[in-house]
Amino acid sequence: MTSFEPLALGNGVTIHAPAHTKSAARLLQNDALGLVVRLHRALDAERRNLLNSRQARQATWDAGDLPGFLPEGEHDAARGEWLVAPLPADLLCRRVEITGPASDAKMVINMLSRGADGNRADAAMLDFEDSMKPSWANVMAGLDNVASAARGDLEFTKYSAGGEEIKTYRLDPDDMPLMMVRVRGLHLNEANLHVDSAPVSAGLFDFALCAFYTARNLVKQGKTPKFYIPKCEHYLEARWWNRLFTLTEKALALPVGTIKATFLIETLPAAFQMEEILYEIREHAAGLNGGRWDKIFSDIKCLRTHPNRVLADRASIGMNRPWMSVYAKQLIRVCHNHGAFAMGGMAAFTPGRDEAAREKQTAKVVADKHFEASIGHDGCWVSHPYFIGPALQPFLDELDGADNQLGVILDLPDRPDLMPKGTDPHTMEGLRTNVRVGIAYLKGWNEDIGCVAWDDLMEDLATLEISRAQTWQWLRHLVTLDCGTTVTRELVRAVFAEEKEKIITEIRAAMNGAPLTAIQRETACYRKAAADAETVFLERTMRPFLTGSSELAPVLATADKTTQVAA
């Protein structure tokens, strides 16, 4: 592991010396860096207390308690009659949102542009979180791309192996969807930058710099600075984020409430505190989003020691499960009662390689979005431009000319049953799927990639987390699979060995005709990824997240990815 090599920047700030690239020197200029420092000193002690509280709550659940709604008398104000601040006009139509890593300039341009079929998303979320590995090069590229996208001048040129220009991709600033940014979560440290000898919060770092480089510019254009906040677990964490928004607005001389945010309700504890979380951010709230994949991971993690809560195969858990369906409906009820948007989840499908596969995948997307539109969601997510049109149609049908469904108020109990249930199936196929995802994802991770198209699905960090957590849970409780085999460490090792060889056989077939050295390099990468994934899957103590820190910039730094982005 690379150790932190401090380079002093003044005012108590040190940067990992190899991270002090040309991009970093330009982006961390005095005023921008000063904002990060000011916010860190105001908020980091509280953030650390909030993270300690997470650990304390998990310890009680591991000892047998269960998460649940807040007791009567705690935060009663959230259950009264109140509304979030009025939503700006450009946030009133978000039927289809597309997401992808902020670090990939070409992908950012594609998300913010019309596809070949003429369809365009209503909003695009430029992601620093689950679809982007938090390497320093990726973070710097992401910041550059976000700033350029806000100006409308982002470009990307594709070159041949011989250095010849093939194609240049450009934004159309007059035909762009709502631009949003998802920052990293509360738990992540940005290891490359320290203030007063402590690493800064990665989420604070992303938010402060994105706001610094875009918020005032967007306001001048008549647009709303809009963010997504992931992995919130408690209303006190939402209060922390709201303080960050307000302090940033004041530092940038913007009226309080200028910045808007949608919070992902993607943890089990947050599912029980939707109303309180929305109340805490009411002056900055755009809405809540049902982050279903991280939610499944959180369900497993929070209830990992409970033998009656061992979840079924990942592929069998969707909105068909009662606790998942009720969770989505509760989100709609809470949001619409208080004038906020209720956004649906991700259709994590890829188009497929032939027409038959595309038709099959499209049918899955349409069915998923028909369900979300029918119960009252205001919009949804897709991970691929191909599905923008198919995902939009169910909302056009349901909304009948309206921009949203804020008027849909669901009749639910005040405290519906949101607790996950341990059910069948537990299959060998499910275990193999988890292992394959682990190998494929860690292969991408080792190559600085945070999302991979694999087995007709878009796998990001959330689905890797589900796969490793579920395997850990099945091992912990010695689950007997439907075929009669008990899940043991020996079985998991055997499945890793088998799936690794299957994948290598598939790769060799797919690369048939390529140079032998290229095939050998690729298969070696998969062998390393399999070893890395097996180590993580078989850890005796389940880590709360794959990583709690960004990756230190390598000592032998590679060229900045931002060199591909037009200034």
Domain segments of the chain: what residues?
10-65+98-419, 428-537
* Residue 91 phi, psi (nearest 5): -110, 10
* Residue 287 phi, psi (nearest 5): 160, -165
Look at residue 560 in the predicted model and tell me its pLDDT. Answer: 42
Cα separation of 313 and 450, whole Å? 23
Q: 3-class secondary structure for 151-204?
A: HCCCEEEEECCCCCEEEEEECCCCCCCEEEEECCCCCCEEEEEEECCEEEEHHH
Peptide bond into 255 cis (omega under 30): no
Cα separation of 82 and 283, whole Å? 11
Are both 10-65+98-419 and 428-537 of the same fold? no
Cα separation of 321 and 342, whole Å? 19
Point out the residues that are catalytic. 182, 460
Look at residue 96 in the predicted model and tell me its pLDDT. Answer: 97
* Nearest Cα residue to 450 out of 463, 469, 468: 463
3-state SS, residue 72: coil
Dihedral of CA 219/223/228/233: which sign? Answer: positive
Enumerate residues 6+ apart whose C-beta is below 8 A from 549. 188, 189, 190, 191, 199
Cα separation of 175 and 155, whole Å? 15
Sheet bearing 189-195, strands edge to edge: 6-10, 13-16, 189-195, 198-201
Structure tokens at 496: 């890793």
pLDDT exceeds 60 at position 563: no
* pLDDT (tens digit per residue) in 20-59: 999 999 999 999 999 999 999 999 999 999 999 999 999 9
For residues 102 and 142, the answer to whether their CB atoms sit within 8 Å is: yes
Structure tokens at 432: 């193999």
pLDDT exceeds 70 at position 565: no
- Quickly state the pLDDT bin for 558 (edges 50, 70, 90): very low
- Quickly state the pLDDT bin for 559 (edges 50, 70, 90): very low
* Residue 512 phi, psi (nearest 5): -55, 125
Cα separation of 494 and 497, whole Å? 5
* Residue 255 phi, psi (nearest 5): -60, 145
Look at residue 352 in the predicted model and tell me its pLDDT. Answer: 82
pLDDT exceeds 90 at position 163: no
Averaged pLDDT, 481-510:
98
* pLDDT (tens digit per residue) in 435-454: 999 999 999 999 999 999 99
* Nearest Cα residue to 98 out of 383, 404, 349: 383
For residues 125 and 181, the answer to whether their CB atoms sit within 8 Å is: yes
Distances (CA, A) of 64 to 54, 143, 256, 307: 16, 43, 42, 10
Buried b vs exposed e over 185-219: b needs ≥16 C-beta within 10 Å?
bbbbbbbbbbbeeebbbbbbbbbbbbbbbbbbebb
In 301-415 the beta strands, taken as DSSP E runs, fall at 341-347, 379-382
For residues 15 and 9, the answer to whether their CB atoms sit within 8 Å is: yes
pTM of the model: 0.95
Cα separation of 310 and 472, whole Å? 11
10-65+98-419: CATH, from 1.20.1560.10, 3.20.20.360, 3.50.50.60, 3.30.360.10? 3.20.20.360
CA 317 from chain centre, in angstroms, equals 19
pLDDT exceeds 70 at position 557: no
Cα separation of 148 and 150, whole Å? 5
For residues 217 and 150, the answer to whether their CB atoms sit within 8 Å is: yes
pLDDT exceeds 80 at position 519: yes
What single letter denotes the amino acid at residue 563? T
pLDDT exceeds 50 at position 66: yes
Distances (CA, A) of 215 to 52, 193, 334: 32, 23, 28
pLDDT exceeds 70 at position 566: no
What single letter denotes the amino acid at residue 431? L
What single letter denotes the amino acid at residue 386? Y
Look at residue 1 in the predicted model and tell me its pLDDT. Answer: 56
Cα separation of 257 and 162, whole Å? 50
Cα angle for residues 128, 129, 133 (degrees, 5° grid): 85
* Nearest Cα residue to 183 out of 285, 254, 258, 102: 102
Left if phi > 0, otherwise alpha if psi is -120 to 50, otherwise beta: which for 130? alpha
- Quickly state the pLDDT bin for 354 (edges 50, 70, 90): confident
428-537: CATH, from 3.20.130.10, 3.40.50.10710, 1.10.10.10, 1.20.1220.12? 1.20.1220.12
* pLDDT (tens digit per residue) in 107-155: 999 999 999 899 999 999 999 999 999 999 999 999 999 999 999 999 9
Cα separation of 544 and 57, whole Å? 13
Average pLDDT, the chain: 95
For residues 466 and 297, the answer to whether their CB atoms sit within 8 Å is: yes
Look at residue 540 in the predicted model and tell me its pLDDT. Answer: 95
Cα separation of 321 and 230, whole Å? 23
For residues 380 and 343, the answer to whether their CB atoms sit within 8 Å is: yes
